[in-house]
Amino acid sequence: MSTKQVIMVGFTLFAMFFGAGNLIFPPALGFSSGEYFWTAIIAFVLTGVGLPLLGVIVGSISKDGYRESLKNIHPAFAVIFLVVIYLTIGPFFAIPRTATTAYEMAVVPFLSENTGLWLLIFSLVYFIIVFLLSIKPGSLVNSIGQVLTPLLLISIVLLIIFAGIAYFNNPINPANETFEATSPFSIGFTEGYLTMDAIAAIAFSVLVLNSIRQLGITNRKDLLFGTIKSAFLAAILLGVIYISLGWLANKVDLGGAAVDDQNLGTFLLTFMSSDIFGIFGPILLGTIVFLACLTTGTGLIVSVSGYFNSILPKVPYKVWVVLFVLISFGLANQGLDQVIATSVPILSIIYPVAMTTVVLLVLTYFVPSPKLSLQIPVLLVAILSILSVIHRNGWLTMDWLEVLPLFSASFEWLPFMIVGYILGYVIALNKPRVEYS
């Protein structure tokens, strides 16, 4: 791929990941982590940027992406895993979050009182528009997105530059009392889950492959290296923005302003834009975020509905659209904080399984391995992740989990992945090895 082609695909990938909803997490982490900022934000970038980077790259190992490579673990796992991924980045979490983020940033700052009725009215209008745009997918959403993403990026960059100059000499905000100072890396690492970009990368990877193929590149090796270069460019851009927003929030002086019942991340972005650009700042940022969330939500509805229509073609595409819009509308009315809180346990199960899957796929690309060496660790990590979430949330106490290595850092699944791989490799030593087409 030429440099121009790498830049073009890299910016396309960046636009896929650069959702307005993701912008709320780095400021919240930067503000709450205080003097532990750098440890926390580096860990955040590992899962919020590094894992999506790796996920996109691994998707190019097989010519047909994850749909094909996941079958090397098991055909049933390939379907179940992708269904879970699409539901997570779709109607269960990501789509409702686009509506609640748009509401928090475009409407709440201008309300005298934030009530559930306002959210209901807003989300009803929001999802009617999403439905109308999704029912007949065309070039409109993509065209709008191509305009809005640069506008959102420009507004964020301007905020970073001017706020960076204004806050440069400010002292660091002290860590919140609720911030666990003993494990800032673990907190940042698991906060990165909330971007959902690592699991979105599994769904987006096929779009990247198709973009590169359209450039006339079909050789598997060229596809892989073209994906690596483009993904690194997107990752660098995302990392710089996330770190910058976190750093600004780490040094912002709220002057006694209270967060009240608004999400911390949206409050901080709105406050900083107002602090730097006056009343014009929140209006501009809120408008762009609303439109960006609208196009993102519509794009996700189209993608998820299209996927389910492909695996269950007897159910029309329009039926899937109606179903997913209704589910998203209902869940969005929990409010942004509740949508995020509800997603945490589910993501804490999905992410270890996704990370294990991605690591094993890339490992077996370089070290041909029997299928059992993929199956055992995935099964062990899935079971352990479920038990850990149950224990950490106090639904059922299992104290024995806390003696596992790396439990305090939320990496207790890692030794099980390694041991499971070795065990499966030894047991199936004479069995056929996984090969990628």
Q: How crowded is residue 185: how many other Cβ atoms within 10 Å of its Cβ?
A: 17
pLDDT digits (tens, 9 = 90+) for 106-155: 888 887 777 788 889 999 999 998 898 888 765 555 555 667 778 878 88
Percentage of the residues of the chain whose pLDDT score is greater than 70: 94
Examine the pLDDT at 437 and tell me if it is beyond 70. no
Examine the pLDDT at 224 and tell me if it is beyond 80. no
Q: What is the mean pLDDT of the chain?
A: 86
| Angle at alpha carbon of residue 354, lines to 348 and 355, rounded to 5° | 90
| Angle at alpha carbon of residue 12, lines to 362 and 270, rounded to 5° | 110
| Angle at alpha carbon of residue 355, lines to 351 and 357, rounded to 5° | 115
- Comparing 63-67, 68-72, 230-234, 332-336, the range with the smallest average pLDDT is 63-67
What pLDDT, on the 0 to 100 scale, is given for residue 286? 86
pLDDT digits (tens, 9 = 90+) for 375-420: 999 999 999 999 999 999 889 989 899 999 988 878 899 999 999 9
What pLDDT, on the 0 to 100 scale, is given for residue 248? 95
Considering the segment(s) 3-337 as one domain, its CATH architecture is Orthogonal Bundle (1.10)
pLDDT digits (tens, 9 = 90+) for 6-25: 887 787 778 778 777 788 89
pLDDT digits (tens, 9 = 90+) for 74-92: 889 988 998 998 898 889 9
What pLDDT, on the 0 to 100 scale, is given for residue 140? 52
Examine the pLDDT at 196 and tell me if it is beyond 90. no
Give the C-alpha distances (Å, rounded to integers) separating 322 from 89, 181, 315. 17, 45, 12
The DSSP result for 230-242, as a single string, is HHHHHHHHHHHHH
What pLDDT, on the 0 to 100 scale, is given for residue 325? 94
Which range has the top average pLDDT, 47-51, 111-115, 219-223, 247-251?
Answer: 247-251
Higher pLDDT among residues 408 and 205, named by residue:
408
Residues with Cβ within 8 Å of 275's Cβ and at least 6 positions away in sequence, in order, are 163, 166, 252, 281
What pLDDT, on the 0 to 100 scale, is given for residue 188? 92
- Comparing 264-278, 283-297, 357-371, 378-392, the range with the smallest average pLDDT is 283-297
What pLDDT, on the 0 to 100 scale, is given for residue 408? 82
At residue 425 the predicted structure's pLDDT band, cuts being 50, 70 and 90, is very high
Examine the pLDDT at 341 and tell me if it is beyond 90. no
Place of tokens 């929990």: 334
Burial 29-64 (b: 16+ CB within 10 A, else e): bbbbbbebbebbbbbbbbbbbbbbbbbbbbbbbbee
Tell me the β-bridge partners of 370.
Answer: 433
Examine the pLDDT at 294 and tell me if it is beyond 70. yes
Instruction: Report which DSSP code applies to 129.
Output: H
Percentage of the residues of the chain whose pLDDT score is greater than 90: 33
Tokens matching residue 98 = 């686009």
